[in-house]
Amino acid sequence: MSSDTLTASPPQGRRLDKRRFEWGSSVLLLPAGILIAAVFVYAVIYSFYIGLTNLSLLGPKAVAYNFTGAANLSRLVNDPFFLHSLWLTFIFVFGSGVVGATVIGMALAVLMQKALVPVRLFTGAVALIAFMLPPVTIAIVWYAASVPQGTLARIFGNPNSDPLFSAPLLFVSLANTWSLAGLAMLMFVAALRNIPKDITEAATIERVGAVRRFRTITLPLLKPTVVTCGLLMTLLSLGNFTIVWLMTGGGPGTATTILPVYSYQQGFEFNNLGYGALLGNVMLIITAVFGVGYVLVARGPRRKKGRSS
């Protein structure tokens, strides 16, 4: 600091101009700290250990399991199902979460600005209810819609066709998009509210068309929200095991074994808890990459204000 050159000697004893750590704080932090450490720190470290063992759900290796070093790792890189699953995860997360939910959420928010009140209220209510419903219910209604004799099969003209069987990844993705679009819509409604009215009004007076107005004014101003929303949707889609598991169980065959499903199957259906944990660790690393991105974006505007509280 430049002020050091001015003071003859450093201040003696405790400084009074800086807030100090109070030991009472640690007592208050302790309960939450212990719980979070037990689950998110201990369990994660333990998971990395289990991932390198031959731990099994049943049989002798459920008790007497050993550290097998890189055996699971070499299995992982030679596992064609793993690569397949990684690819499916990418399509599912990127297609339904990042593109699907973000685009539809934005479209809903933008269209709602100019819509008639009843249309706007109806759309908002439906999208929000879809977002609020518990994952299990979302899976049920989409299962009902896409099985033979279901609504979509009838709409497509052949009641005996099986849309869920013919295009399983498409329908679990649609269910995921359906469940997340309401949240994306909320984010974009809030962001659109923050766009100053006079900019768009000025453009309207200059007779700039609606499409160009959206492309050159609204969209650039929404860019931060698009990034935040895309990252949040990535994380939420990665966590959306329940919808896929209930609708297809990862099938037919391996058509929808996204990473969370594959990890669950390895652990609890094929009894390979060790290998399942390793797949979970891969997922954790992917989450961490996107999570760090999300956190950095989320705190972006905060940093400019300087250090607050």
Partner 1 sequence: MTSATEVVRPAADFHGLKRVAVRRVTAPGILNNLILGAIAVLFAIPLLWLVLASIDKHASWSIALPHFTLSNFSSSLSAGRGQSLVVSLELASIATVVATVTGTLAAYVFSRRHIPWKGAALLFVLFLSGVPINVIIIPMYQIFSQAGWLSVVPTAVFIGITGLPFEIWMIKNFIDAVPAELEEAARIENVSTLKIIWRVVVPLAAPGIGAAAIYGFVNAWGSFLIPLVLISNSAQQPGAVTVYSFISAAGVNYGDIAAFSILYSIPVVVLYLAMGRFFRGGFVLGGALK
Residue with Cβ nearer partner 1 (147 or 169): 147
Position 241 contacts partner 1 (CB under 8 A):
yes
Residue with Cβ nearer partner 1 (147 or 167): 147
The stretch near partner 1 (CB under 8 A) out of 1-9, 72-80, 130-138, 215-223 is 130-138
Could you give phi then psi for residue 200, rounded to 5 degrees?
-70, -35
Residue with Cβ nearer partner 1 (2 or 154): 154
- 129, 199, 219, 289: which one binds partner 1 (CB under 8 A): 129
Least distance (Å) from partner 1 to the CB of residue 212?
A: 13
Alpha helices in 147-258 (DSSP H): 151-155, 163-166, 168-193, 197-205, 210-213, 219-238, 241-247
Restricting to residues 177-196, name those near partner 1 by CB under 8 A: 178, 181, 183, 186-187, 189-190
Least distance (Å) from partner 1 to the CB of residue 240?
A: 8
CA-wise closest residue to 258 among 96, 4, 87: 87
Position 6 contacts partner 1 (CB under 8 A):
no
CA-wise closest residue to 93 among 290, 254, 293, 296: 290
- Enter the tokens of residue 190: 């809030």
Which amino acid, 247?
Answer: M
- Enter the tokens of residue 133: 């419903």
Position 213 contacts partner 1 (CB under 8 A):
no
Question: How big is the site for partner 1, counted in residues (CB under 8 A)?
Answer: 109
Restricting to residues 217-236, name those near partner 1 by CB under 8 A: 228, 232, 235-236
CA dihedral 126, 132, 138, 142 (to 10 degrees): 10
- 88, 218, 246, 250: which one binds partner 1 (CB under 8 A): 246
Beta carbons of 83 and 306 less than 8 angstroms apart:
no
- Enter the tokens of residue 147: 């099985």
Calculate the CA 65 to chain-centre distance: 34
Position 201 contacts partner 1 (CB under 8 A):
yes
Restricting to residues 12-71, name those near partner 1 by CB under 8 A: 18-22, 24-25, 28-29, 31-33, 35-36, 38-40, 43-44, 46-47, 50, 55
Taking residue 145's Cβ as centre, other Cβ atoms within 10 Å add up to: 19
- 88, 106, 153, 226: which one binds partner 1 (CB under 8 A): 153
Beta carbons of 239 and 230 less than 8 angstroms apart:
no
Restricting to residues 69-98, name those near partner 1 by CB under 8 A: none
